[in-house]
Structure 1
């Protein structure tokens, strides 16, 4: 994929807890194949690059979320203009894998095989949940807990709650 460059602005989705985002114009979505299931490297103002994916916004447009920390690093706020470059994310999972989880996979063939059976979004969920804590020991503990829970679940019927070790919600 050839890098795609465009100008946009910072928006805010009040119904999603005030999430900030980069609006992706419909013509850019079309260049990406008109689909929203593509993982990308997102570069903002030639200053910050991160991994992300496009979510449908309506009328053919999409958006990529922008955390408060990234906004602060860039010195941007709601309404600010931004220059964006999108390139295809060629990484295996579309997000960095913590070394503690990688090490667990080296030691637990069954756990790694089970993880490989998950859909990419579920894999990213596990990776990001492990990476979300600063302590290496907590990353080890989370890795073990999630993979042990996963190994007990039926293939194709896993839920985030069950992988976390929580009961399914009753309707």
Structure 2
């Protein structure tokens, strides 16, 4: 099932309680997405197309007023050549992927070789798993993605799957100094 509707890229300060936290959003009326919603989950994962192009994994966030919004980054706006205030066509379909985003190839390869890395990763909450997958998949170069994947998993193994973001950043920074 998928739905298509039009909306305007607007500031999070216009009509949500998240002004100052998020920058740009796409407002979504509850009645428009009612058939896509999972009644057991306040945060529903979807795959979004903008103006019939691309496929981006996103979340429907409750706006505090009975409706929803989707975060839209400047990066996504640039990729789809859309601007603030512009009316766009949105197509949404349920995201039934395991992690709510693509699994980077480097991660699946590491897990095939290192069961402990896989185990500690899955001790994280689903949201933190997505955050870590995003960090591991973001670098453009394959070698950098491999390095980041190994660093994150080595950190998680050293903490038995307990994630402290500041500690992880310090771990990566110290490890990067060793790679030079």
TM-score, normalised on structure 2? 0.79
| Residue 69 in structure 1 maps to residue 69 in structure 2 | no
Query: Match of 1:51, SS?
Result: strand
Q: Is the 8 A contact 2:51 2:89 kept in 1?
A: yes
2 CA distance for matches of 1:33 and 1:103? 32
Q: Is the 8 A contact 1:41 1:52 kept in 2?
A: yes
2 CA distance for matches of 1:105 and 1:12? 40
TM-score, normalised on structure 1? 0.82
Q: 1:104 to 1:164 in 2, by over 3 A?
A: farther
2 CA distance for matches of 1:76 and 1:146? 34
1:16-165 aligned at under 5 Å gives the runs 16=21, 19-31=23-35, 32-33=37-38, 35-154=41-160, 157-165=162-170
Deviation at residue 103 of structure 1 after TM alignment = 1.4
Could you list the runs of 4 or more consecutive aligned residues of structure 1 that deviate by over 6 angstroms after TM superposition? none
Q: Count how many residue pairs are aligned between Structure 1 and Structure 2.
A: 163
Structure 1 unaligned spans of 5+? 167-171
Write out per-residue CA displacement over residues 46-91 of structure 1, whole angstroms, 9 at most, x where no aligned residue.
1232111122223112211222232233332122112212111122
Query: Match of 1:58, SS?
Result: coil
